[in-house]
Structure 1
Amino acid sequence: MIKNLILRGVSSYSPELNSQVGPLTKVNMFYGHNGTGKTTIGNYLQDPADLLYHQCQTQPASAEREVLVYNHTFMEANFQASSQAGIFTLNEGNIEAEKELEAAELALKQVLTEHQAEVAAGNAFGDSQKANKADMLDQLWALKKPFETGPLRYCLVGPNTKERLGDKLRDIALVTSSEDFTALATEAEQLQSAGDTELPAIPTLRFAESEVETSPLLSEVISGSGDSYLSALITDLGNSDWVKHALEFHEREQCPFCQQTLPAGFYDEIRKVFDKTYEQRVSQLKALKNRYDGGVARLKSQFQRAEYRAPEYQALLARLDALFTQNIQGLAAKLASPSMIVALEATGAVLGEINALIAEDQLKIDAFNLKVKDKKTHLENIKTRFWNCFRASCDQVITSARKVHSELGVKKEAKRKLADEIRIKAQVHRDAIALSKAKITNIDQSIDSINMSLAVLGLKGFLVVREEGELPRYKLQRPDQQADVFKTLSEGEKTLISFLYFLEVCNGELDEKGGKLKSERIIVIDDPISSLSHNYIYDIASMIHRRVLSPKERFKQVFILTHNLFFFHEMLNHLKKSDEFSLFRITKAAHSVITPMKATDVQNDYQSFWQAIKDAQAGRTSATVIPNMMRNILEYYFTFVHRLDKLQAALATLADEDADFKALYRYVNRESHADAVNITDFGEIEPAHYLERFRQVFVKTGFEEHYEKMMGEQT
């Protein structure tokens, strides 16, 4: 029997939280409006291995359950084809054969009970093993506690849970040791007091850009060529740099000094002075300057590190910085006046002094770090000795627990073997049952049963007959039609014939040699009165009572799901004769929610309308149901008390008082449910606001006390 259901991440059920249904009993009935998630329950029980339900569970889990589900899927699977599989039932009147079969089934049931008992016993031994392990881990954790503070606490880094501590101790071989925790703690404390952080190395200063300082280009006089008749004049005057800069300005036809017109081609002659060779030299100067600037910027960034903040470093770095500044200025001057000869200061000597100081300090750092590394080695050695010592101190606990675990394992294995032997016996009984059924079963009895039920229900014009052929199959037939009869049936007729067929499947076998016990089956019935008029609800409820629920040992467990209150009450009348049934209510707001309920929680349609409003108020279902529930309540109540005139007057007054609710009042004031209005016309529905206006309908008509009673507000 299924004790609990867990639904999650499927259909309308929450993907983050489990929706647990239980505790379940022999018979379980679920009530909920359409779209709340009832069908999902049947679909899951029908095919729990589907990946769609990978987050769902049945407790206890079992892959051997035989679950028969009546739903739309069952109808499609069995009635889309032109014929249906025959159902094998026992021949009536063969008393001797029935007794033999009954004895074989009783023997199988006893064997299965024994098997379940042995499996349960084996599981109990397994649970005892788990409890024994948990007790051992608790004791080991308690033994660890004294070392969580003090100098040896570093040894415990890693096994920070009981399970990890147990795994670590399991992997440590027991060795004889004369160590004691006090001596280990003293040794560890002495090492830890020296500090355990290695000092970082001091990077040396590297300045490959110092090559720029001795570049021959800096001592070269870079001037124009002699191809122009102006070259000699410019050279004699020594103002080639000034003339070069002047070319950057706008060309004028007059001399800026004497205002006379310049000769033709004057500017071209000046440009000849500064030829391609001149431009290449200038570009090389720019490259030298950019390279030197970049190298200086990199070194200055390195100066900012903490390692260079000591005073002896700062003095040398200040000297180096001054040289950099002077050289950068010299390079800028050379680039501005290429004909100038520039000599840069050499920085190598100062860099050498700084790197010598770095090398001296690095020797001290290396010596300190060597001590730190030795300390780490010593601490790791202490850690290894600690765990050997701790393993020895835990040996009594571990040895005792292993002994108990081994003894329980022997008993568990014995139960497993016994269960396997019983399973073999059960299969022998199943084979015997299958052989007996093959001799005394047929499919004709189910035909008679279905046709008799059709007659009782008053359905005429079609029957179930045996299909001609080698395979045992049924088909529907009309007096004047033998093919595709199912397609000609009304929706109600399709529901009835498929449900009658399902009842026969539950009580028979689709396999002539089936060896399973019917009493171990789980039956799921999902809305069997869908598309049916109220005339058939009593008959369907009676059939379920006679063919499914009675006697109570007929099946292992039954699930019934419905949205129809009339059917719910009919079934409840039958269930009250039993002491093993549970009722559940399914509602849906953002997600489907299943809660236990009492038989008195939903009494009739009228009260269900009020309950829906209270559910919306509490957030258990969508607020969009409020307008329709309000209309239903007003129609029921004011028709019953013969005060429709007062209702009309109150609605008109309230509509005038509250313009925002005119759409709602038009909706609840319509005479026919078929005259629907799009509920989205109401905009965002605030339950509290709507309920206050709904209350005013009863206040203005003099029935406020009834509103308070139905909403549970009376004290």
Structure 2
Amino acid sequence: MINSITLKGVATYDPTDGVLIDNLKKVNFLYGTNGCGKTTLSNFLQESANPKFMNCKVSWKDEQPITTLVYNKAFREHNFGKGNINGIFTLGQATTDEIKVIEEKQEELKKLKDEGTKIKDTLKVQIDKKNKVEKEFTEECWKKIYKKYEKEFKDAFVGSMKSGELFKTRFLKEFSSNTANLESIELLREKAKTIFGEVPQKIIPINDFSYENILFIEKDSIWNKIIVGKADVDIAKLIQKLNINDWVNEGRNYIEEDETCPFCQQQTITEDFRNQLESFFDEVYVNDLKKIKDLKQEYNNSNENIINELNSIETEHKNLKGSKLDINKFSAYLKTLISQNTTNNELLNSKIKEPSRKIELVSLKEQLDLIKKLIDTANQEIKKHNEIVENFISEKNKLIQEIWKFLVEEFRVDITKYNSNITGLDSGISKLEANRTLKLEAYKALKSEITKLSKNVTSIQPTVDEINKLLKAYGFLNFKIVPATEDGFYQIQREDGEIAETTLSEGEITFITFLYYLQLAKGGLDENTVNDDRILVIDDPISSLDSNVLFVVSTLIKEILKEVRNDIGSIKQVILLTHNIYFHKEASFEGINRGKGEKNQYYILRKVNSVTKSYSYLDKNPISSSYELLWNEIKDYEKNSGITVQNAMRRVIENYFSILGNKRDETLLSKFPNPQEKEIFRSLLSWINEGSHTLPDDLYVELPDQSIETYLKVFKEIFLYTHNIGHYNMMMGIEENEDIY
């Protein structure tokens, strides 16, 4: 069954707000004038997949769509715009026993469906109840636990703070698996102050360095050795007497191949002199000098490497947050070390230049020892720190578990109650789902059995007989329905045997089309669909019909509506749309034989500013009589147009004051006491006549003109001055002491 219909962005239905027709029942009447959107509604229900209805929607009961049969102009054109007419299969040719079996099976099927629906409804109630329990518990967890302890234990809630559902899930998991010790809230708070906060990071230990080689070089005896030439050479006495070893050694580099002395520039360099110099600066001298140079190079390289490494350590730990190195002392010691190294480097250079000099290097041991001690101390602190970091992670995890343990114990009663409720609900839901599955399987099997039984007894001939019977009963004697030569089809045949394809009147086509539709509503286009549930949507079935046939159609519809209200047969819902007041009154009349079941639902479609609006009247029929309807148009003028109000006023005056005859207007005019009021009345007469005589007498619903209130006041005064104000108040629904103007 259809619960509601939404029409939006098509024809006269607004693309933004649209129209919602909701609270639909088994029987529904929609009244509206031509052009207000009734056919658009029926077309949508007939072909909802059409792209032009992409913004429209049908809401189904239990979200279960069923077959919808629509009677409208498109139905007439589709089924009676060609020679042959599709046959309708019914059970009319079956034997009494066969029909009884099928009917019993259908009753059993209906019972299964009702039972399945009840199970589904119960299942939905249980699921909703479970969802409610879960929602309430989720909100309690969030408010009573998270919000209460958020500030002090926030770190323990990481990973479950984005939503109440996440927090509840974590809470239940901790309840079932947490094995931590139960600590007091005071202890947990104290530990949280220490552990929760900024997480300490590990520090990389400072690289150790070795400087034994430097100290070894510093202690070498070469630095105190006087390195001079050989003493038993002739020139040795002079060189030693003058103490010019280093000067002569330096000068050797300037002796060329010729005999010119680099010192006195005389021709004194003989071969013998050369030999004496070579003998004086013998191999011992050369080896000592080489050793000095090699040791200096090694010393400088070692110091340079250490100083570079120490500089890197200084730079890193100046910027390292939480450094354990005493950077101030370290920098001071390093500065002194660099200075001492510079001094030693100068001494080494002088030794190389003057090997005969004794030098004493400044020992770097003290500074290097001090620096190494700082590094060793820092590394010890770093080791302790890193151990704390590793232990911190463990301690933090331990604290988090202890906090959750405290929380689940504090709310153990609530959790136990929740788990008990959910377990019970889950058990019930599982049983209901299993039961529903069994019902569905039984329903499908039984429906399949009914379909097979129906195939053996269905025929199109009962439909032929039923339509012809109705045609004859209601005076249509010049044609009838006959089976076509092609199996499964009908034809319309004249009395003389001629096939009538284009010679039927509009009224005849309308009537026979509707009879065909009613048979289709009770049967199916094939054997498999005879017993399917269906919804009827009937859009103005009385066009081109005279009043007698209109009464017949309304009578046939009322019989269907009675069965629908009493849940008899396969028709589950009817939506009837019309613009004809008389037909609306006849079809909706229930009388004392309406039967049981829910009441009809009534709606009016109005076009306001060329946009369709829907008005629901629930089970109160707004179309009671033409005269009452005219007063309703006046009373509800704010929902209607100026044109409609003009028409309503004219017809009320014509009907109610018809006793005054041809001089009605003059008589009424004479009742107004002064010329000004007479002119207003003349204006009213001119206004209502101008806006009404070119329109039909049915209900039209548009937007009111700005001058309506002025003329409504004059309209009321007509009844006041003619002493008929009581009738006016009655029709307008005004109490004795009430005045709407």
TM over 0.5: same fold?
yes
Aligned residue number for residue 115 of structure 2: 114
Query: Structure 1 residues 671, 130: closer, same or farther in 2, change over 3 A?
Result: closer
**1:5 is matched with which residue?**
4
CA shift at 1:175, angstroms?
A: 4.3
Q: Answer yes or no: is 1:608 the counterpart of 2:629.
A: yes
Structure 1 residue 56: Cα displacement: 3.6
Q: Secondary structure at the match of 1:525?
A: strand
Q: Cα offset for 1:697?
A: 3.9
User: Offset at 1:473?
Assistant: 0.8
Residue 538 of structure 1: which of 551, 563, 567 is its match? 551
| Range moving further from structure 2, 139-148 or 394-403 | 394-403
8 Å contact 2:87–2:490 — kept in the other structure?
yes
Structure 2 partner of 1:673: 693
- Please tell me whether the aligned partners of residues 38 and 586 of structure 1 are also in contact (alpha carbons under 8 angstroms): no
TM-score (ref. length: structure 1): 0.61
Deviation (angstroms), 1:160: 7.6
Equivalent residue letter for 2:685: Y
Q: Please report how far the alpha carbon of residue 570 of structure 1 lies from its aligned counterpart in structure 2 after TM superposition.
A: 2.0
Within a 5 Å distance, the mapping from 1:655-666 to structure 2 comes to 665-666=685-686
String of CA shifts for 1:8-56, please: whole Å, max 9, x gaps.
Answer: 536537844873532x544333444444555565455545666736564
d(CA) in 1 for partners of 2:115, 2:98 = 26
User: Is residue 2:651 matched to residue 1:632?
Assistant: yes
Contact 1:13–1:37 at 8 Å: present in 2 too? Answer: no
**Conservation of the 8 A alpha-carbon contact between 1:646 and 1:701:** no
SS in structure 1 of the partner of residue 69 of structure 2: strand
Report the Cα offset of residue 468 of structure 1: 0.9
Give the count of matched residue pairs: 523
What are the equivalent positions in structure 2 for 1:433-472 lying under 5 Å apart?
A: 433-469=450-486, 471-472=487-488
Separation in 2 of the partners of 1:542 and 1:116?
33
In structure 2, C-alpha distance between the alignment counterparts of 1:545 and 1:699, rounded to whole Å: 42
Corresponding residue for 2:27? 27
Counterpart Cα distance in 2 of 1:697 and 1:130: 64
- Structure 1 residues 684 and 670: CA distance shift in structure 2, 3 A: closer
Quote the residue 1:525 is aligned against: 538
- Aligned partners of 1:675, 1:476: CA distance in 2, in Å? 37
Q: Is 1:556–2:572 an aligned residue pair?
A: yes
SS at 1:593 equivalent: strand
Rounded to whole Å, the distance in 2 between the matches of 1:57 and 1:675 is 35
Equivalent positions of 1:51-66 (< 5 A) are 52=53, 56-58=57-59, 60-66=61-67
Q: 1:576 to 1:170 in 2, by over 3 A?
A: farther
Q: Per the alignment, in what secondary structure is the counterpart of residue 673 of structure 1? A: coil
- Please state how far the C-alpha of 1:472 moved relative to its aligned partner: 0.3
Q: How big is each residue's C-alpha offset from its partner over 1:111-165, in whole Å with a ceiling of 9 and x where there is no partner? A: 3233333333433332232132123223313423762786668998995864464
Alpha-carbon shift at residue 86 of structure 1 (Å): 0.4
What's the CA shift for 1:484?
7.3
Aligned position for 1:498: 513
- Looking at structure 1, the residues matched to 31 and 122 of structure 2 have their Cα atoms a distance apart, in angstroms, of 37
Distance in 2 separating the partners of 1:403 and 1:696: 74
Identity fraction in percent: 25
1:43-442 equivalences in 2 (<5 Å): 43=43, 45-46=45-46, 52=53, 56-58=57-59, 60-92=61-93, 94-144=95-145, 147=148, 159=161, 162-163=164-165, 165-166=167-168, 169=171, 175-177=178-180, 182=186, 388=404, 392=408, 397=414, 401-402=418-419, 404-442=421-459
Structure 1 residue runs of 5 or longer lacking an equivalent are 195-373
Please say which structure displays the higher CA radius of gyration: 2
Q: So what's the TM-score if we normalise by structure 2?
A: 0.59
What is aligned with 2:715? Answer: 694
Cα offsets for 1:600-630 (capped at 9, x unmatched): 754210110111222223xx34444222222
Separation of aligned partners in 2, 1:615 and 1:430: 51
SS at 1:89 equivalent: coil
Q: Residues of 2 paired with 1:512 and 1:638: CA distance? A: 61
Whether the 8 Å contact between 1:585 and 1:596 is mirrored in structure 2 is: yes
CA distance in 2, matches of 1:115, 1:550: 23
Report the counterpart of residue 527 of structure 2 in structure 1: 512
Q: Structure 2: how far apart are the matches of 1:92 and 1:515?
A: 13
The one-letter amino acid paired with 2:657 is: F
Superposition deviation, residue 511 in structure 1: 1.0
**SS in structure 2 at match of 1:442:** coil
Query: CA, structure 1 residues 546+591, in 2 after alignment: closer, same or farther (shift >3 Å)?
Result: closer
Query: Structure 2 counterpart of 1:426, which letter?
Result: Y
Pick aligned residue for 1:707 from 719, 728, 740: 728
Once the two structures are TM-superposed, the CA of residue 683 in structure 1 deviates from its matched residue by 9.7
Q: Is the 8 A contact 1:155 1:386 kept in 2?
A: no
Q: Does 1:567 align with 2:583?
A: yes
CA RMSD of aligned residues (A): 4.6
CA distance in 2, matches of 1:495, 1:68: 17
CA deviation profile, 1:222-249 (whole Å, cap 9, x unmatched) = xxxxxxxxxxxxxxxxxxxxxxxxxxxx
- Closer, same or farther in 2 for the Cα pair 1:702/1:416, shift >3 Å? same
State the AA in 1 paired with 2:663. D
Contact 2:5 2:59 in 1 (8 A): yes
